[in-house]
Chain A
């Protein structure tokens, strides 16, 4: 199980995107094998470029110093990626394993469709955080925008701040832990009783995210499971 790993910058490979091309960086990262000795990478001058450090399959540490654009860390499968800045839309989209840590705010659709791994956002996430998530664990230390957890299938979304409108709309079996207020719940999302197992899961998630917040303040939301099957009362709508 991944937690946030610290990158030792002293021994890192430094890649300056002001001097070298993004395609070279991604090709180098994607070529790393499981036994690679270059286990720590530091990327300078990202300047909001898109698709930085996507598709990495080796268990290396990648630290990006500055704001990134669309899809940073997308499809990550094993790397520990830290963004020292804000992230654009779709950060860690479709992550399989590993971790992505945004040390600022994330734009919309953070962690979209991600199957595994840990996404930690120190600031706020915008709309549609965890949309269609399929097993990822997401911890947002701030709040999330509207339609977060839309059609979330499995995994856990922990929100330490407030949630916007239509939280968990058309939710499947993902769990949403919310500490702050929610503007409105989406269709088929309801508050659930927090079992001791849920509480233990939440404590583990907060610990893995290095998040010093009291688990006692959270509520749990899940699927009411009323949209799973066709209901004959709705026949007239078709």
Chain B
């Protein structure tokens, strides 16, 4: 069983080859948003360096959102093109599920936050103490509302994700429960993690066809929002 994982939902671009519970190759960049140029060469690199022919891949795991609209589409289009050519399914893994899955065997509540601009974050609540649990699925909200909701749950919280640098001071000044910020080696999107969670979802039968997979933006386009506010 071989999974190719493709991640480009945020500033991070990442690709990994997973084979039978082993991450055989992984390539992650967190530098510039040039995913349209870098992603496919990175995929080629992880396949070549793990001596894997692309035709041996059984499924393609891809971050399904939320995230940068364009970034999500570059990842989705790449996965859909590969899946279509190979006749293989896709595993659409919510970006925040993947980010939370970086944390293992902790009693704390896991809260990945992504900067969604317009004073909002994309977030979700997770636990990974005995088994990975989605406590609250991905949603977009004001950081104040998120912290208020977390306080009502009363658990210790691990924050991670690219929203942390943006809201770190705010959390320090306003959050009443115990908390920690995850360190750099586990606080961003990574294709290795994506492949592992993808394998778990694959075994649960959570796959989609290459043709039907679409990103989950969690937010309408600006034009649609403006149109709705007029009516």
Asked if A pairs with B, the answer is no
A positions within 8 Å CB-CB of B:
none
B positions within 8 Å CB-CB of A:
none
